[in-house]
Structure 1
């Protein structure tokens, strides 16, 4: 796989050495057992896969290279390049400006942009409408494009099945930048509707079967369907794609459910189901799959608590937290700075969108076993920082420990 020129401040010699060793031992990536860092009184189980993915490293390389090669020019990002506050803060410090926030609210008016300005498309991609707006301003929308190739793969799949007269069902968070972009590209080719979870998939199933009246659809899926969507006609042939960072198991469950509804509604068999349900296979990116599988492997081991590191608005990271929460106390932090002391930690409750201040998060007894992972937009340097902070509470110098 291609390697990228990512700023050294995001790298970690410790994590790099661990990852390189695991790659040598498991070239086919079939072993999802964690790596044990045994510091005596403290044991850290590090997930097999975590941290920067291909799309994130690609975006970082393009963005920082663009800044370096264009001194004196005004450089803008459509919104956060990735969902990590440290990386976005570094870009802001270099003079990059965000045109919108993550919800799409305007921060820089379009009419203040000039043809010689540089506008970088973030890793999530963008809508066709925004591409058109940039073109109208005389700015080439794709000259500085960091859209993840795995996001573009979803767009291509949606276009392929749309050309065969299938309606596209997008499993994603309606307000997420990537879902907004995928919805825009898909609806350009075919009727499209977004479902955020299994509950909404079941609602959609009731429209497919006719259990719900078509008149109810606009209110129940407000803002989540393409213009002119005809419930009675556009749900007869469908296919499911997704926001690449959703839970793999949930996407599969939604696809299986919709497929079953279609089969029952039209009395189809396995031999002829493709007449009305498109084979989209799995449109999750490899990193999302690997990181979620690695957390499942991590959770097979006994532990006292889990720590997940990443941006609080990172979808892929929140799903790792979700998996860990099912098994043991879990603390979602953005960096080691959130670990205030051995007794106090600030951590994010993504369910209620609030930061919590917890005490006595580390057990009194020893040894303590901590399960540790991070999201696909989290620098390895932050994970090393967390390891060092935790090790310090137990009088461990990890540099000396690593050499012994």
Structure 2
């Protein structure tokens, strides 16, 4: 796989050495057990896969190269390039300006942009409507495009099944930048509706099965369907694609549920279900699959707690938290600075969208075992900082050096 020129400040010699060793031992990526780091009074079980993915490294390389090669020019990002506060802050410190926030709220009016300005498309991609606005101003929207190839693959899959007269159901968070982009590209080719979770998929299936009046759909899914969507016609032949960072098991469950509903409505079986349900296969990216599988493998080991590191608005990171929360106390932090001492930690509750101050963090026992992972947009250097902070709290000041020497 291609390697990228990512700023050294995001790298970690320790994490790089661990990942390289695991890669050599498991070239086919079939072993999802964690890496054991034994420091005596504290043991850290590091997930098999975590951290920067292909799409994120690609975006970082393009963005920083654009800044370096265009000194003196105004450089804008449509919104956060990735969902990591440190990376976005680094870009802001280099003079890059964000046109919108992550919810699509305008921060800089379109009228303030000029043809000579540079606009970078973030890793999530963007809508065709925004591309049109930029073109109208004389800005070539795809000249500085960091859209993840795996996001573009979803767009291509939607277009492919649209060509066979299927409508598209997108499993994603309706307000997320990637889902907004996927919805925009898909609806150009075919009727499209977004469902954010299984509960919404169940409600959508009621319309497939004729259990609800079609007129109710337009209020129930307001803002989540394409213009001119005809409930009675456009749910007869469908395919499911997804925001690439969603929980893999949920996407599969939604696709299976919609498929079963289609079978029931039209009295189909496995031999002819393809007449009305498109085989999209999984449109999650490889990193999302690997990171979630690594967490599932990590959770097979006994531990006292889990720490997940990443941006609080990162979808893929929140799903790793979700997996861990089902099994043991889990702390979602954005950096080592959130760990105050052995008892206190600032961590994010993504269910309530607020940062909490907990007074029960590390248990008082002879040996504490911690599961540790991070999201696909989190620099490895931050993970190393978290390890170092935990070791310092246990009076271990050369643990990183010792482990690095043993690899």
Q: Per the shorter chain, which TM-score range?
A: over 0.9
Change over 3 Å in CA distance of 1:165–1:39 after alignment to 2: same
Question: Residue in 2 aligned with 1:113?
Answer: 113
SS in 2 for 1:45: strand
Asked if residue 401 in structure 1 is aligned to residue 380 in structure 2, the reply is no
SS in 2 for 1:119: strand
Question: Residue in 2 aligned with 1:99?
Answer: 99
Asked if residue 296 in structure 1 is aligned to residue 299 in structure 2, the reply is no
SS in 2 for 1:227: coil
Question: Residue in 1 aligned with 2:139?
Answer: 139
Asked if residue 354 in structure 1 is aligned to residue 354 in structure 2, the reply is yes
Q: Give the Å deviation of 1:269.
A: 1.3
SS in 2 for 1:115: coil
Q: Distance in 2 between matches of 1:400 and 1:113?
A: 49
Q: Distance in 1 between matches of 2:88 and 2:144?
A: 17
Query: After the TM superposition, which residues 166-315 of structure 1 pair with which residues of structure 2 at under 5 Å, given as runs?
Result: 166-315=166-315
The answer (yes or no) to whether the contact 1:11–1:381 under 8 Å persists in 2 is yes
Deviations 1:262-312 (A, max 9, x none): 011101111110000000000000000000000000000000000000000
Question: Residue in 1 aligned with 2:51?
Answer: 51
SS in 1 for 2:306: strand
The answer (yes or no) to whether the contact 2:120–2:145 under 8 Å persists in 1 is yes
Q: Unaligned stretches of 5+ in structure 2? A: none
Tell me how large the CA RMSD over aligned residues is.
Answer: 0.6
Q: Give the Å deviation of 1:161.
A: 0.4
Q: TM-score, normalised by structure 2?
A: 0.99
Q: Unaligned stretches of 5+ in structure 1? A: none
Question: Residue in 1 aligned with 2:158?
Answer: 158
Mean CA deviation greater in 268-277 or 393-402? 393-402
Q: Distance in 2 between matches of 1:72 and 1:90?
A: 17
Q: Give the Å deviation of 1:399.
A: 3.4
SS in 2 for 1:114: coil
Q: Give the Å deviation of 1:138.
A: 0.3
Q: Distance in 2 between matches of 1:188 and 1:366?
A: 60
Q: Give the Å deviation of 1:394.
A: 1.3
Q: Distance in 2 between matches of 1:257 and 1:56?
A: 32
Deviations 1:312-336 (A, max 9, x none): 0000000000000000000000000
The answer (yes or no) to whether the contact 2:388–2:400 under 8 Å persists in 1 is no
Asked if residue 129 in structure 1 is aligned to residue 126 in structure 2, the reply is no
Deviation beyond 2 Å, 4+ runs, structure 1: none
The answer (yes or no) to whether the contact 1:168–1:240 under 8 Å persists in 2 is yes
